[in-house]
């Protein structure tokens, strides 16, 4: 036996199915698509939700109400307890510093919430503040400045 005599066992290799390549392919004529009709033509695939021409389910059921999700404004939210841990007293906290410290993403405006205790005096510049956050910041001698978007 020589190296050039080696062949796979009969039945181990399948002949590739070549469609639409004449009589020699063994699949000419209809190219394994059956006879006539929409499924035999090119581009004849229907979407999975197609219901045979009857009114589709999504169009049969009533549509009601209004959703505000398209118009709502999204904010990057930061709590006071987070600022307490990350910043020293008398620091200036603004969106640029928060992005630099990777506390927020730059896509959204910043909102400061009053969760947690604040013991340091901070100057915080943000787009929005909760009422409790403003009270806590001012009570510690800090400043809450609103930035316009």
**Domain annotation covers residue 24:** no
Q: Would residue 88 count as lying in a domain?
A: yes
* 129 located within any domain: yes
Query: 142 lies in a domain?
Result: yes
Residue 97's domain spans which residues? 76-146
pLDDT, one tens digit per residue, over 105-138 is 888 999 999 999 999 999 999 999 999 999 999 9
Q: Whole-angstrom Cα distance, residue 92 to residue 56?
A: 58
Count how many domains the chain has.
1
Domain with residue 124: its CATH number is: 3.100.10.10
95 or 1, which is more confident: 95
Whether 52 maps to a domain, the answer reads: no
Which pLDDT tens digit goes with each residue over 88-104? 999 999 999 999 999 99
3-state secondary structure of 34: coil
Q: So what's the pLDDT on residue 17?
A: 82
Quick: pLDDT tens for 51-108: 998 999 999 999 999 999 999 989 999 999 999 999 999 999 999 999 999 999 888 9
- Asked if the structure places residue 23 within a domain, the reply is no
């Amino acid at each position: 036996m020589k190296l050039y005599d080696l062949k796979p066992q009969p039945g181990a290799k399948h002949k590739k199915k070549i469609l639409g390549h004449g009589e020699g392919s063994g699949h000419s004529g209809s190219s394994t698509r059956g006879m006539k009709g929409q499924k035999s033509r090119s581009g004849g695939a229907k979407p999975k939700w197609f219901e045979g021409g009857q009114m589709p389910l999504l169009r049969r059921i009533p549509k009601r109400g209004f959703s505000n999700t398209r118009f709502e404004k999204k904010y990057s939210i930061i709590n006071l307890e987070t600022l307490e841990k990350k910043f020293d007293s008398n620091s200036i906290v603004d969106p640029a510093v928060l992005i630099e410290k990777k506390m927020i993403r730059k896509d959204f405006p910043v909102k400061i919430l009053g969760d947690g205790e604040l013991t340091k005096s901070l100057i915080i510049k943000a787009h929005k503040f909760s009422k409790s956050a403003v009270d806590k910041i001012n009570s510690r001698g800090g400043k809450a400045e609103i930035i316009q978007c």
